[in-house]
Amino acid sequence: MRNKKIYMAGCGGMLGEAFYKVFFDDYNLRCSDISPNETWLTRLDFRNINEYFEDVNNFKPNYLFHVGAHTDLEYCETHIEDAYATNTESVKNAVYISNKLNIPLIFISTAGIFDGEKEFYDEYDLPKPICHYAKSKYEAELFVKNNSKKYLICRAGWMMGGGPKKDKKFIQKIIAQIKSNQKELFIVNDKTGTPTYTHDFANNLKLLIKKEVFGLFNMVCSGSVKRSEVAKELLKILKVENKVKIIEVNSDFWKKDYFAPRPESECLINKKLDSLSMNIMRDWKVCLKEYIVNYYHDYLI
């Protein structure tokens, strides 16, 4: 398969790192990002359609992966124009390019596009985004579905991966607090979601591409949990559950820091993957342990 080529745009984050590692052995890759932080990354601002088209066209890929986005909800609430330019308008560029080159577009979406009023969501539920991050992602999703010749949209849940260098999400924030010798962690207990290990996500996406399966798919690890449950499991893996105390709080406790509206439930069901017998996403606890062992082994006692 090394003769097949994939262009990956916006590949400098935690998911891009997993994509690079999972796809590298079998595909010829060109990976770009607006802020290259690896030797295998070149610089590209995919909001610039001319620059984007030229770089992809010169590489002549078989697939275009549009990976990057602003995923910080508070940033998107306070930088609305930039949020939509990065999360929506750049995707329109990707649709144009993939259609022009007659190649499939792979777009990464999010569980955050739902309003959280249901306990679980499958691919047939209607999204109702409640914050600008979610709205910008859902607008992009709709544009891909309505305008792409051939597309694969994969929705992720609470992402974990990348390690200390690239993880800007929940796991790294908790580990940073533990490392700074905090003995009490205030963790919310009124939001539920489905964790998604970047490597499982990349491997399941690779399977879909190998089988040439396209369309819209939820792609999350099995198990729905609260943030406090994830934190408790993390302490067990790190073997500090008797040294660090978790104090469960509701979301209002962190409202000053995390003021963007968030759904009460972001739990997805991989209904379409299951129906095709192509769901290789593992249990979230298994993935969390593997993630910590592979990326945070220095923290393990």
Q: Residue 63 is part of a domain; what is its CATH number?
A: 3.40.50.720
Q: Give a yes or no: residue 293 inside a domain.
A: no
| 169-183 average pLDDT score | 93
Spell out where 94-214 has E strands. 105-110, 151-156, 158-160, 184-188, 192-193, 195-197
- Taking the C-alpha atoms of residue 261 and residue 108, their distance in angstroms, rounded to an integer, is 21
Q: Give a yes or no: residue 58 inside a domain.
A: yes
Element (H, E) at 33: strand 28-33
Q: Give a yes or no: residue 114 inside a domain.
A: yes
| 173-188 average pLDDT score | 93
- Taking the C-alpha atoms of residue 13 and residue 70, their distance in angstroms, rounded to an integer, is 10
Q: Give a yes or no: residue 83 inside a domain.
A: yes
Q: Which residues contact 151 (CB under 8 A, 6 or more apart)?
A: 98, 104, 105, 106, 107, 144, 145, 214, 215
The number of residues making up the chain comes to 301
Q: Would you tell me the crossing angle of helices 284-295 and 198-210 to the nearest 10 degrees? A: 110
210-226: pLDDT as tens digits: 999 999 999 999 999 99
Q: Give a yes or no: residue 38 inside a domain.
A: yes
How many structural domains does the chain have? 1
Q: Give a yes or no: residue 299 inside a domain.
A: no
Q: Give a yes or no: residue 259 inside a domain.
A: no
**Would you place residue 129 in the very low, low, confident or very high pLDDT band (cuts 50, 70, 90)?**
very high
Residue 286 pLDDT > 90: yes
Residue 63's DSSP bridge partners are 6
- Which residue segment(s) compose the domain that 66 sits in? 5-164+195-223+266-282
| 132-144 average pLDDT score | 98
Q: Give a yes or no: residue 146 inside a domain.
A: yes
